[in-house]
Amino acid sequence: SQQGEEDPQALSIQEGENATMNCSYKTSINNLQWYRQNSGRGLVHLILIRSNEREKHSGRLRVTLDTSKKSSSLLITASRAADTASYFCATVNTGGFKTIFGAGTRLFVKA
Amino acid sequence: DTEVTQTPKHLVMGMTNKKSLKCEQHMGHRAMYWYKQKAKKPPELMFVYSYEKLSINESVPSRFSPECPNSSLLNLHLHALQPEDSALYLCASSQGLAGVEQYFGPGTRLTVT
């Protein structure tokens, strides 16, 4: 079963608005990653946050991690039509190599 | 070169056929991965190779047979597939062995008839 669960499953916003996606996971992790996937294509790594970090920024992306609640959020500010994609969180089990992706959030940004 | 290439882009095969998917990276990455992704679902890990050795097999049926001929190439041999195996097959690679910052190829869209 997938470890990461994300909400919302789908999100539709206007260009310029912010988009927030949430991810929950079940086991201990060393880090949590976020990936983007444009329709039917490969995934692109966006950002990684380590278990000892609470917040991380990269351009218009802001990621938070709450290990006590086993949850993370991805905020995309000032969204653009080109941000339309599916966004997945991904975790790797502590001491292992197994990557588990969350269910994903499908973001649609209207121009 | 930060690209992972996959061939073919599309593949249609019958249940009695034998075919292979190919993946290549020239980034010197030490780990390579195969994922299966059904429509509107997240990728599911199938196999992980580290230093050209199979390190993870996620209980994948034997009709899928991975091969890593060298550090740049990863193959997935397909035989006697079922229609439910139709999916997007993604290859990825990473420098480290802990699944961090994986680079994905564009995938092979497989249809089993």
* Nearest residue of B to residue A30, measured between CA atoms: B98
CA dihedral for B45, B47, B50, B51, sign (positive or negative): negative
Tell me which residue in B42, B101, B106 faces A88 most closely, judged by beta carbons. B42
Partner-chain contact B31 A97, CB within 8 Å: yes
B13 closest CA partner among B71, B76, B59: B76
- Judged by DSSP in three states, B83 sits in helix
* Nearest residue of B to residue A43, measured between CA atoms: B104
Q: For the segment A21-55, what is each residue's pLDDT rounded down to a tens digit?
A: 999 998 888 899 999 999 878 999 999 999 999 99
pLDDT for A1 equals 35
Look up residue A23 and give its amino acid.
Answer: C
Mean pLDDT score across all residues of chain A: 91
A5 band by pLDDT with thresholds 50, 70 and 90: confident
- B65 in Cβ contact with B54 (< 8 Å): no
B29 closest CA partner among B94, B92, B75: B94
A25 near B CB under 8 A: no
User: CA-to-CA distance for A74 and A56, rounded, in angstroms?
Assistant: 10
Tell me which residue in A42, A90, A103 faces B106 most closely, judged by beta carbons. A42
A104 near B CB under 8 A: yes
Please give the interface size between A and B, counted as residue pairs whose CB atoms are below 8 Å apart: 63
Query: What do you get for the CA distance between the two ends of chain A, in Å?
Result: 36
A60 burial via Cβ count (<10 Å: 0-12, 13-18, 19+): middle
A2 band by pLDDT with thresholds 50, 70 and 90: very low
Partner-chain contact A97 B97, CB within 8 Å: yes
- A15 in Cβ contact with A110 (< 8 Å): yes
How is residue B55 written in tokens? 């390190």
User: CA-to-CA distance for B41 and A37, rounded, in angstroms?
Assistant: 11
- B105 in Cβ contact with B5 (< 8 Å): yes
Taking chain B (113 residues) in consecutive chunks of 10 residues, what is each chunk's mean pLDDT?
91 95 96 96 95 92 96 96 97 89 96 96
Look up residue B33 and give its amino acid.
Answer: Y
B14-38 b/e with 16+ CB inside 10 Å = b? eeeeebebbbbbeeebebbbbbbbe
- B14 in Cβ contact with B83 (< 8 Å): no
Please give the average per-residue pLDDT across A61-72, as a whole number. 96
Partner-chain contact B103 A45, CB within 8 Å: yes
Q: Is the pLDDT of residue A8 over 90?
A: no
